[in-house]
Structure 1
Amino acid sequence: MVQTSARLLQVLSLLQSRRFWAGGDLARELGVTERSVRRDVDRLRSLGYPVHATAGVGGGYQLGAGKELPPLPLEDDEAVAVAVGLRVAATGPVKGLEEAAVRALGKLEQVLPKRLRRRVAALQAVSVRLGDAAGPRVDAEALAVIAHACRDSELLRFDYSSREGTASERHVEPYRLVHTSYRWYLLAYDLDREGWRTFRVDRIGPGPRTGRSFKARPLPSEDVAAYVSQAVSTDAYKFRALVTVHAPSRVVSERLSGVAGRIEELDAERCLVHAGADSLEALAFYLGWLGFDFEVHEPKELIEHLRRLSERLARAAQR
């Protein structure tokens, strides 16, 4: 039933993408028989979609005018959210998704009621984008291949460039994709290195290849997001800090992204922050930017750096 419903959506999408489809072409595109196509068309008609058919040589299918389509099965706020999201995706951080987002937006706006089209247009008209999308852009096709490999438990091979620029080929069992405000990460078990690894998707080379299916092993943590956050915010860096911040964890989490630090609640007014960076200057900046009192437990180098920094700032204030 699920496969049939999914194919109906695929048939509808194809009919919307082209003015006319020959029966044989549509069947080949879907990977089914022409008889199956006829059954799918009958189901779409039963749902209220006006699919016109012509018989004989050169016969095929054509979707009727958009105004005759059934109402969009979304609440008003959901429809506006999808439309705005597609507009963002059209110029967003996933490279190669722009054209697909524009096509989908065109189809959606055809069936949006006028009142919702006005709301979407008004929001777009008063919104201003500042600079490029945050973080590096990732390839949409590669992201899709990785997502399917995670879903279907298929082995994955890809070329990878480390933070230092070292190139290598990786052979992994992919498990989860994790998205932060800035980057996409893949959590996978590296078969050659025999351990769990976190890979930045923007550093994965073009054309990742899938292989045979594998039997999934237990994840390294029940909280995958927290596990990846620790891997990319502390473990990967030269300097790692342990700091008590005098503010509720909920408030601190609003200022500290998952790639900058991991937060543990101590009590209602304090939290423990695990942070990492490649320089003491960067760690000092993150902690100062939080805007709360804090105590550094480690490393000693950071404590000394903050002492020298405070003296320098005090001298600057006196001047």
Structure 2
Amino acid sequence: MAARKTERLVNLTILLLSSRRYVPRAKIRETVEAYRDLSDENFNRTFERDKDDLRAMGIPVETGSNERFFDDEPGYRIVRTDFELPPCEFTGEEAMVLGLAATVWQQASVADQTRQALAKLRAAGVDPDPSRLRALAPRLSVRETAFDPLREAMIERQTVRFTYKGGQQRTVQPWRLVLRNNNSYLLAFDCDRQAPRIFKLSRIAGAVSRLGPPNAFVPPDNEALGDYAEHLSVKSDFDVVLAIRSERAPALRRRGELEHAPIELPSGFEAYRVRLNQNNAVAEIASYGPDVIVLEPAELRAAVLGHLRGVLAVHGEARELSETGEQR
């Protein structure tokens, strides 16, 4: 994606995400710098295409009116709770790397492009609410080589070809990329078999080639894609009680319910009862480092502490973890 288009989409996302009310088209055109010098026809075409691109990336652009009883011009916004990513799971090795790398990113509230966009919005007379932009904070992600070209082709709705396990050439229309069961998957329409298929990205060898023009297909709606993704869901069968630091580990908090803490918690923590997959529980909890403490069961707490000790040992750290103290 060209840098100018990326900047325009970032600015549009921040404007719609930071506003508490629906933003009319005229205000969007006035505020987003890249729209200002376009003719009416070019603006409408570019804005419609940008909305489609955001929705193709999974960003829910909502249409509505600020006045229920008046026929006002419709506006647009992005609801933060709908914008947040769903839970993602990683292997033990991936979780270990993410847990260590997280400290690099915890102090960065927004990226350089986000800061520049906020400055432009304020200069244009818009007062964005920074607390609504936490979802735009930089995040590390684990991606196979095929991820980026598939993502770009998915946004452009362009057919691709790649070599799959066993040397098979597959030609597909990419619909959605998902993280499930510690792996990345592509939901796509297989042009050779004329049927929907799910591909594991780690089994894609070599380069991903684009074929034909953009906008070559229309993917299924979100409900249908969600049904396909359900086939990849991990069974959650293990109840645990965790102490989670405020505003941290949102994936765990969304999946849990507030619980009475069996012990006095450190300041800023709340207890949650969460259902996890037993095979992945240790790695998932350890990946949050000091932001998540296991309260129950004791066996899981010991396993997480052991996992973290192993991480420290691998990296030559001398500090020890107390069995009765906070995981650090």
Bin the TM-score by the shorter chain: 0.3 to 0.5
Question: Computing the radius of gyration over CA atoms, which structure comes out larger, 1 or 2?
Answer: 1
Q: Normalization by structure 1: what TM-score?
A: 0.33
Greater RCO, CA 8 A, separation 6+: 2
